[in-house]
Each structure stands twice: as structure tokens, then as C-alpha cells.
Structure 1
Amino acid sequence: MANLNITVEDKVAVVEFNRPHAMNSIDPEMRQELYAFYDRLKKDDAIHVAVFTGAGDKAFCTGADLKKTMPDPNDSYANQLLARGETGSAFFGLETDKPLICAVNGYALAGGTELVTICDICIASTNAKFGLSEVRRGSIPWGGSLQRLPRSISKSDAMLLLLTGDMVDAHEALRMGLCSKVVAPEELMPTALAIARRIASNAPLAVRAVKQLVTRGMDVPLPHALQMDKYMYGILKDTEDRVEGRKAFAEKRDPVWKMR
């Protein structure tokens, strides 16, 4: 049985963490399956959007399986980080211009919440729980949340989560800005998939340009970010897809995108 269930339909990939017996925690085998999917995601033009969720109704993802994830005594972290450029995070390599959505059912703890901070949109079920508990184990989040979280929610809310290790429920996560919507459990995947399909129906080059500009723009001064917008607008201005989008609108029909 695969640790990840991956299906692709209507240009949307659904990635389901499939270890419900272990609260969908990430063991070494699942980690390698995730890395393989990230590589596929970047190369496969049939995938325009990815949706992450968890099998069962108890957990989305609870981070690393501490019972199975043990450090290799023959592989130093210095070698891992400096020689191979790896961080040890299960989400290493998930940098992509394609939109990512989290459909959070149940517990999203440690790496589960880290994935939420990486994804572009988070939809939560009413039974969702979020938390970064690493400080309670003498460690720190190392999937990027220390830097991403204060950039996406208030510093006070970010520090509350990071320093206490406390869990928050779906409605508190909504207030903080960790998620965009809270829905009943039975509405979670239909809602997430409907959003993913609406995104996938849009001009793919424009969608990827928007994500790239927003992501990169957050790390540069506003005047520089605005300049990047101008350059990207010029790049897209004469593409076949932009001409097709305007033509389809005038003719009251669905556009046919060619990604050029």
C-alpha cells in the first residue's frame, strides 16, 4: 500500500497522506514518495494545481514519524546541508510556481502546519487542529515556518504558536489567517477541489506568473516588486493565451489555453 495516494484529474493533482494508522505522519518511505511527487509536479504540464489532504477523518498530517525517523549516524547534518543542499525537511524541494492547496481534515501538527505555511490556500474542516509543537520536544520547526509564518500572519499570533507549542482549532486558525475557509468535514474536499478546478481553468502562464510575483515580491522592497509586475505584464502581453483569453471573452465561450 502506497504511503501517498496520488490522482490527477481535470489538471488537479490530489495528494493524500495515507498512513491513517499513524496519524498520517511522515516516515522515511513517505518522504521519498513526496520528493518524487515534487519532481513530477515541476515537470508534468498535465498538473496545474495540487491539493494535499489526509486519509481518514482524524489527521491531515502530524509531521515526522518520530518512532521511525532516526538520524543516520554515518551522515552528518553538515554533509547533508552543505554538500547535498538538503535540509532534512519532508517538504524540501516543494518550491513551485504551481498553486498548492491544503484541505485540512483533523490534526495538522508540526510538519502538517509547516505544509500549511508553504501552500497558497488552506481550507479547513471544523475538526481541524493546528500546532507547531517542536519547542516541547527541544527542537524548532525546520520546514520554513519560522520565517514563513510571521510573513503570512501577525507576528504576535505567529510567536504565540511557535513559542507555546499550543494547538488552535479551525476557527482560531481562520481568525489568525492560517486558513481561508472553515467548512463541514463532508464539504472539505468538494470545496477544495472546486477552488482548484477554478484555478486550473484559468490561463496557466498567468496563474504561475501571479504566484511567482506574489512569492518573490514579499521579499523585496515595494518599488522593486512593482517593477517586477511591469516586466511580467510585458512578457505576458503578447502571448497567444492572452489574445485567446480576450477573444474568448468577446465571443462568450470558454478559452482554449496553449501555454504559449
Structure 2
Amino acid sequence: MSPASKSKAAIAALPDDRPRVSVERDGHVLLIGLDREEKRNAADLRMLRELSLAFGLLDRDPDLWCGLVFAHGEHFTAGLDLGDVARAVTADGLDIVPEGGLHPWQVDGTQLTKPLVMAVQGTCLTLGVELALVSDIVISAKNARFGQMEVRRGILPFGGATTRFPARVGWGNAMRWMLTGETFDAKEALRIGLVQEVVFNDQVYNRAIDIAHRVAAQAPLAVQATLANAKLAGREGEEAAHAALQGELVRLMATDDSKLGMTSFRNRGEAEFTGR
């Protein structure tokens, strides 16, 4: 499971101005943890902006090859802290991206170029589902419950679920859950393809970090090119993605990592890639 929960007494003593998102490097993996346990990791404006900064760091640092999003405590997130966030909505919408940040849900034209793994346990509502939809691999605990509940609050999902949910799980499956606002369990999330694996509750963090390190052990430029081409297909269609393939292959073949990969193939060993 995610890092151990704090005691109730310790939670009560936490200052309100502490960071809402923990950020830690683990080799080439950036660990991004939602850390507002006393509020079931409900996202206030500060958390959204800190999450944006963490995504910005992951995207621009050439030594970071994969990200892992997880949550401290028993729950991934209770969704938006509407009491705090609603006050920040202007006529232009909600601005959550400070300088150096990257929109975590990438609904502003930006795009994360590094792969993202997510570990989810307990409650995972609204923006948590939308984080799963922008993640590339999602590992769920058996006790997870998901909900895209915005229609129950008189608003719509504004973190990309209206387009990504149908694309990921199919129109009927997405509408079933978005238009009713009902919650569903990990078994259903696996059935429809929102998550890729369901594990025992105490294994979810370790399983997710293992997968993140497996991704980070591959040639990072090749991983990023693979991810970019798949995203291009989603945005502009298969024809555009196919048209880019040969140029990307030529570019990658000229890298040091490609040479290392070829050498490891001949020697039947494992390459230690450099990202060059």
C-alpha cells in the first residue's frame, strides 16, 4: 500500500500551510504523492497547483523517465474541495498552472511527454478518475471505489473525462457512470479497462512502483517516442501516427541508446540506457 498513514493525533496537529503533494526521486522515477490525508486527499487549490508543478518537473527533467502518482493514507482522493476551489473560478475558468507547471489533466493544449503510472486505493472520485484517464498504467487495490460524480453537484467533469472516458472504456460504459454519478468498484474498473491490474490492498503501491521502474529501465527516448506516437493517433488519427513512424525510427536509430540496445541483443544481456 502507499506509505503508512499518520496517526490521528499527528494529522490533527498538521499545519494548514504544509505541502499538499509530496515529491521524491527514486532513481529515474518521480514519486508524486497526494498528501492531504486528513481531508481524504480532497484537492484544494494549493494541491492542484502543487500537482501541476510536480508534473512540470517530471516533464522537463531529462533525468526523470517515468512518474508514479499515488496517495498517502487510506484513500486516493475524495475529489475536489469545492468550498475552496469554487472561489477561484473566474469568468475564464479555473487557473491551476503556475509558472513551471504542467496541467495535470492536460486540457489546455499541453501534453505530458513521460509515461505515468498510478496506484489507487480506497475512494477515488472525480479528478481522481480523470488522473487515471491521463495515466498510462493504473494499478488498483481491491478496495478502490471510483466515481465521476460531477452531475450530482450541478457541474460537468472538466478534467478531460468527457472525451477520455469514452475513448478508454467505450461510449456506453462511460455514459453509464458519468451520467448517473454512481460509484463502481475495482472489479468493474478492470472490466471496462479503466485500470490494468487489481491487487490486494497492501500490495498496490509496491506493484505500481515495480512497474514504474520497469518502464524506467527501458530506453527513455524510445519509450517517449512510443508514447508520443500513440497519443498522436488519439489526437489526429492513425494516418498521422503512421506517417510519423519512419522518421522516428531513423531518429532513434542514431541514438546512443539504440546502439546499447543492439549490443545487448547480440550479447543476450540487459542494456543500461543513458537517455542519449
Match of 1:6 among 16, 23, 31: 23
Could you tell me how far apart the structure 2 residues matched to 1:230 and 1:62 are?
A: 44
Structure 1's 251 and 125: CA in aligned 2 closer, same or farther, altered over 3 A? same
CA displacement at 1:64 relative to structure 2: 1.4
* Superimposed CA distance per residue, residues 198-253 of structure 1 (whole angstroms, 9 cap, x where no aligned partner): 10000000000011000111233323322222221122122221111110222233
Task: Specify the SS of the correspondent of 1:33.
Answer: helix
CA displacement at 1:11 relative to structure 2: 0.9
Match of 1:36 among 46, 49, 53: 53
What is the TM-score when the length of structure 2 is the normalising length? 0.85
* Superimposed CA distance per residue, residues 118-167 of structure 1 (whole angstroms, 9 cap, x where no aligned partner): 11111000010111000111110000110111111111001111111111
Runs of 4 or more, structure 1, over 4 Å off, are 78-81
Could you tell me how far apart the structure 2 residues matched to 1:19 and 1:30 are?
A: 8
Which stretch shifts more, 60-69 or 247-256? 247-256
CA displacement at 1:255 relative to structure 2: 1.6
Match of 2:242 among 210, 222, 226: 226
Could you tell me how far apart the structure 2 residues matched to 1:112 and 1:79 are?
A: 17
Structure 1's 4 and 80: CA in aligned 2 closer, same or farther, altered over 3 A? closer
Could you tell me how far apart the structure 2 residues matched to 1:246 and 1:90 are?
A: 35
Could you tell me how far apart the structure 2 residues matched to 1:140 and 1:48 are?
A: 33
What is the TM-score when the length of structure 1 is the normalising length? 0.90
Structure 1's 72 and 11: CA in aligned 2 closer, same or farther, altered over 3 A? closer
Match of 1:96 in 2: 112
CA displacement at 1:79 relative to structure 2: 9.7
CA displacement at 1:90 relative to structure 2: 6.0
CA displacement at 1:258 relative to structure 2: 2.7
Unaligned runs of 5+ in 1: none
Match of 1:126 in 2: 142
CA displacement at 1:254 relative to structure 2: 3.0
Which stretch shifts more, 114-123 or 44-53? 44-53
Contact 2:217 / 2:272 at 8 angstroms: preserved in 1? no
Match of 2:181 in 1: 165
Could you tell me how far apart the structure 2 residues matched to 1:243 and 1:169 are?
A: 45
For the pair 1:191 / 2:210, whether they are aligned, the reply is no
CA displacement at 1:259 relative to structure 2: 2.1
Unaligned runs of 5+ in 2: 1-17
Structure 1's 222 and 31: CA in aligned 2 closer, same or farther, altered over 3 A? closer
Task: Specify the SS of the correspondent of 1:71.
Answer: helix
CA displacement at 1:76 relative to structure 2: 2.3
CA displacement at 1:20 relative to structure 2: 1.3
Q: How many residues align?
A: 252
Match of 1:142 in 2: 158
* Percent of paired sites with the same residue: 29
